[in-house]
A and B are shown apart, each in its own frame.
Chain A
C-alpha cells in the first residue's frame, strides 16, 4: 500500500471554541490509483488533504507512506513526497521558469539536478501552455494558466503521492482534460492521487470516497 491514513482527527479553531472537522477519517491509496473524495461543501475535504500533507497543527491519527510511519519522517520530507496542490496555488515572485524550478531551491532536494529549459517547455506543452514563454512574469498569468503551471511544478518535483484540491476549478474543458491526462499519467507511472473535486466528479477515478460527518465512507465503484 502506498499511503495509509487512519483515524485522522482534526479540530480547527472557531468562534466559541474548537470545531471538530475530521473525527476519525481513514483512507487507503495504492500505487497507480486515483481516488476522488466528494462530499457536501464545508465537509472538510480541504482539511483532509492538508491533514494528509501534514500541513495542519494538532492532527491526531496515523499516517504511513510505503509502510513507513509518518512520525519517522521529517515533516518537510513528508511534504515533498506527499505533495499538496492547494486550491489557490500561489505563483512565487519571478518568471515561469523560476516558479517551475522553485522546488529545487529547497534543501529537501539539495544535490538534485533541476530540469532543463527544454524539459520545462515540454511539460508546459503537455497542459496546453505552449504559448507561455519560460521567461514570462508568473504574476501576469491568468488564473487558469497559474493553476496549470502550479500543477506542472508539483508534478516535476517528483512526489510519490499527489493531493489535488479542486485541480480543475478554474479550467475550461480542454485544459481540465489535459490536467486529467497528466494526473492519470502520474498514477500510471507509479504514483497515487487523492483528489477533491466538485465539478466533473468521478471521471477517471479508480475509487471514490464520500466525506460527511467528519468520516470517510467508500462509495460504490463508478
Chain B
C-alpha cells in the first residue's frame, strides 16, 4: 500500500468505539461514575466530527469565497464566546477585543500562509484555508484566554500599586503595563516550549495526520514547520493584541482603575 489514505468504514469506526466500551467498563467496575459522561462525550465526538466532514464536503464543493469568509467569521465568533466563558472576571468589552484580535491576526496569518507560503489558487481555496484558519484560531484562542485571565488577575493583585501609580499621574497604560507585559511573557512560554519539543517529544498533529494520509515525510515536515511557526505567531500576536485592546476596560474613560470594590457588577 502506498499513496492515498486508508479509508475507514463504518465497521472500523464501530471497532474504534469499542475502546470507549472498555473505558466505560473500567469506570463502572471501579465506581468512577463517569460512564454516562464518557458515553455522551464519545457520541458528541462522532456527531460533531462527522457533521464537520459533511459541512466541509459541502463547502469544498460550493467553492465560494463569500461562504469561506463567512465560515471564518463564524469560527472567530465561536472562539470569542469560548474566551468569554473562560475569563468570567474580565470586564465588559473583552469579548469584542478578543474577537477583533482573532479576526485581525487570524485572517492575516491564514492568508499570508495560504497565499504566500503555500500559494493556493484561488486564494480562498477552502481545502487549505479552513483547516489552516482552524489551527490559527484555535491556538490564538488558547493564548488569548490565558493572557486575558492573567492580565486581569494580575491587575487585581496589583491594585494598591496601580492606585499609587495613578495617584502620581500615571496614565492607564503606564499603570497597567507591568501586568500586560508579564501576562504576555507568560503567554509566550507554552508556544516556545512547543517549538523546542516538536519532533523530539511528539509528532505534531498535522504532520501525524499527513503521514497517516500517505504523504512523504519530507513533504509533511516543511508543512509542519510552517504550521508550528504560524500557530506560535498567532498565539503571541493574538494575545498581545487582545490584551492591548482589553486592559483599558478595567479603567474608566477618566483613567480610574476599577478595583474590586468599585465595580458595579461581578465583572
Contact = CB atoms under 8 A, between A and B. Distances in A.
A88 B160 CA distance: 7
Contact of B255 (A75, A88, A93, A154): A75
Contact of A57 (B165, B169, B252): B252
A103 B168 contact: yes
A92 B161 contact: yes
Q: Which 10 residue pairs spanning A and B have beta carbons closest together?
A: A80-B169, A108-B169, A90-B161, A90-B160, A84-B167, A90-B164, A75-B254, A57-B252, A103-B168, A75-B255
Interface in A73-95: 75-77, 79-80, 83-86, 88-90, 92-93
B261 to A, nearest CB: 7
Contacts of A157: 168-169
A105 B166 CA distance: 12
A127 B126 CA distance: 71
Interface of B: 158, 160-161, 163-171, 174, 178, 252, 254-256, 258, 261-264
Nearest to A83: B167
29 contacts: A13-B261, A54-B256, A55-B167, A55-B256, A57-B252, A57-B256, A57-B262, A75-B255, A75-B256, A76-B255, A79-B166, A79-B167, A80-B168, A80-B169, A83-B167, A85-B167, A86-B160, A86-B167, A89-B164, A90-B158, A93-B178, A102-B168, A106-B169, A106-B171, A107-B171, A107-B174, A108-B170, A109-B169, A154-B167
A56 B256 contact: yes
A79 B175 CA distance: 13
Interface of A: 12-13, 18, 53-57, 75-77, 79-80, 83-86, 88-90, 92-93, 102-103, 105-109, 150, 153-154, 157
Given A12-B261, A13-B261, A75-B255, 4 more contacts: A57-B256, A76-B169, A90-B160, A106-B170
B171 A76 contact: yes
Given A13-B261, A13-B262, A86-B160, A92 B169 contact: no
A55 B254 CA distance: 9
Nearest to A77: B169
A93 B262 CA distance: 25
Contacts of A77: 169
Which among B161, B168, B252 has the highest number of chain A CB atoms within 10 Å?
B168
Contacts of B171: 76, 106-108
Nearest to A103: B168
Contacts of A107: 171, 174
A150 B254 CA distance: 24
Contacts of A57: 252, 254, 256, 258, 262
A68 to B, nearest CB: 16
A146 to B, nearest CB: 11
Given A77-B169, A102-B168, A86 B261 contact: no
